[in-house]
C-alpha cells in the first residue's frame, strides 16, 4: 500500500488508530532514527475548532494540511516543532499529529540529540520526538513522505499490535471549546510508558503490546 492510498482511504480517526505500532523513522543523513508510534491525535479540518484549518483558515504556515494525504505538515510553537501528516484528499485539510514513539533505532544518537535525556523522557511527547530526531526547523514541511527522510512502514508484518487501543480527549486543546476539547480524538497504546502523561500505575507488561 502506498502513502496516497493509506492516508486517503479511511477516516482520519481510523488512520490515527491504525498508525499505532507502525515504525516511524527519520534518516539524518548518517543513520536511521526512530521507533514505533504509540500515540497519535486526529484533527478533522474545517469543522474542528482545535484544527489549524478550522473554518477553512489557510496560510503559508498551515499549507501542509491542504496537501494530498501523505503530505508532511510541520509546525512550530515557540522553539518546538511538531510532526503531522495530512490525511484525506487535496484541499480537505485534515491530519494526524504523531505525539510519541517507543524508541527502537538510533537510540544513542537520539539520546545525544536530547542532551542526554533517556528512558521514557526521550520521546514521550511530540516536541521531544522531533528533538530526538535532531530536527529544529520546518525544512521538510510540505514534502510528501516518500520524498523526505521520514518513513512510516505500512507493512502490516512489521507493525506491533497493541493489547488495547485507548482513546481520550486531545492534549492542549483550548477548554473554552468544550465540544472539541472533550472529543476522544487522541489514540494511544494503553499502558505504554512512552505515551505522554502515562502514569506509572498504568504501565502494562510488554509496554502494552500483544
Q: Which pLDDT score is estimated for 68?
A: 98
Q: Which pLDDT score is estimated for 176?
A: 73
**DSSP conformational letter for 153:** -
Determine which helix (DSSP H) or strand (DSSP E) holds 168, and give its type and residue range: strand 165-168
In the predicted model, what is the mean pLDDT of residues 136-148?
Answer: 98
Coil/strand/helix, residue 41: strand
Q: Which pLDDT score is estimated for 177?
A: 73
Q: Is the pLDDT of residue 127 over 80?
A: yes
User: How many whole angstroms separate alpha carbon 36 and alpha carbon 52?
Assistant: 26
Q: Which pLDDT score is estimated for 178?
A: 77
Q: Which pLDDT score is estimated for 132?
A: 98
| Residue-averaged pLDDT of the chain | 97
In the predicted model, what is the mean pLDDT of residues 51-58?
Answer: 97
Q: Which pLDDT score is estimated for 179?
A: 86
Cell numbers 504509540 correspond to what residue?
A: 38
76-106 tens-digit pLDDT: 999 999 999 999 999 999 999 999 999 999 9
Q: Which pLDDT score is estimated for 174?
A: 82
% of residues, the chain, pLDDT over 90: 96
- Please state the pTM of the whole predicted model: 0.97
User: How many whole angstroms separate alpha carbon 154 and alpha carbon 22?
Assistant: 7
In the predicted model, what is the mean pLDDT of residues 98-121?
Answer: 98
154-203 tens-digit pLDDT: 999 999 999 999 999 999 998 877 789 999 999 999 999 999 999 999 99
Residues in the chain: 210
Amino acid at each position: 500500500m502506498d502513502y496516497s492510498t493509506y492516508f486517503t482511504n479511511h477516516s482520519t480517526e481510523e488512520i490515527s488508530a491504525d498508525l499505532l505500532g507502525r515504525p516511524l523513522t527519520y534518516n539524518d543523513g548518517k543513520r536511521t532514527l526512530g521507533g514505533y508510534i504509540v500515540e497519535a491525535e486526529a484533527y478533522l479540518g474545517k469543522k474542528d475548532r482545535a484544527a489549524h484549518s478550522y473554518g477553512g483558515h489557510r496560510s503559508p504556515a498551515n499549507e501542509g494540511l491542504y496537501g494530498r494525504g501523505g503530505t508532511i505538515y510541520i509546525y512550530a510553537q515557540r522553539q518546538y516543532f511538531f510532526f503531522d501528516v495530512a490525511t484525506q484528499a487535496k484541499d480537505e485539510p485534515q491530519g494526524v499529529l504523531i505525539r510519541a514513539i517507543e524508541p527502537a533505532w538510533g537510540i544513542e544518537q537520539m539520546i545525544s540529540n536530547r542532551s542526554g535525556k533517556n528512558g521514557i523522557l526521550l520521546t514521550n511527547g511530540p516536541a521531544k520526538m522531533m528533538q530526538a530526531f535532531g530536527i529544529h526547523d520546518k525544512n521538510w514541511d510540505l514534502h510528501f513522505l516518500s520524498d523526505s527522510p521520514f518513513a512510516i512502514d505500512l507493512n502490516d508484518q512489521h507493525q506491533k499490535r497493541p493489547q488495547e487501543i485507548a482513546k481520550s480527549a486531545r492534549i492542549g486543546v483550548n477548554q473554552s471549546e468544550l465540544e472539541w476539547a472533550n472529543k476522544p480524538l487522541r489514540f494511544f497504546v494503553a499502558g505504554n510508558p512512552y505515551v505522554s502523561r502515562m502514569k506509572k500505575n498504568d504501565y502494562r507488561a510488554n509496554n502494552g503490546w500483544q
